[in-house]
Amino acid sequence: MIEIKIKLNGKMITEQIDPDLLLIDFVRNHNCYSVKRGCETSNCGLCTVLMDDTPVLSCSMLAARADGHEVKTLEGLQEEASSFVGFIADQGADQCGFCNPGFVMNTIALLRENPDPTDDEIRAFLAGNLCRCSGYEGQLRGIRAYLDSRKQ
């Protein structure tokens, strides 16, 4: 067992963990169920969290590597996410909703880094997220509609 300290969604957590505990299991053990287990090979983006405001795939990171860092999940970013998720839903891009948390987390990171991205920049940033229902055009249209609404 090792002791880690992680600031999870604004709350400092100190815990004894097994050295091989994945970050996805740590955050889910703390009721962050928006973080989903998908491919478990770092290819789908469902497990995206922000560590020190940078998107990371929690299925391929040991929780011990997050020791001393701040981790945010969608549960801790509801206010920020609520500003644009309706635009994505309006485009029919959330048919089953399973991929949405990963898309939202990466969109938050994108807009923090680049508040006015081009369509190609949006596509490049979201390329690591898999959506089997609708592809990516609905998400792109929703993000573009949100960005356009901010310019008015």
59-99 pLDDT, tens digit per residue, is 999 999 999 999 999 999 998 888 878 877 777 666 666 77
Q: Which of 52, 73, 94 is the last residue of a domain?
A: 73
More confident residue, 139 or 92: 139
82, 41: one domain: no
Is 152:103 a contact under the CB 8 Å cutoff? Answer: no
103, 143: one domain: yes
Q: Which of 23, 50, 73 is the last residue of a domain?
A: 73
Amino acid letter, 9: N
What are 16-63's pLDDT values in tens digits?
999 999 999 999 999 999 999 887 777 788 899 999 999 999 999 999
List the structure tokens of 140: 């792109």
Report the pLDDT averaged over residues 120-124: 88
CATH code assigned at 40:
3.10.20.30
Q: How many domains does the chain have?
A: 2
55, 100: one domain: no
Q: Which domain holds residue 85?
A: 78-151
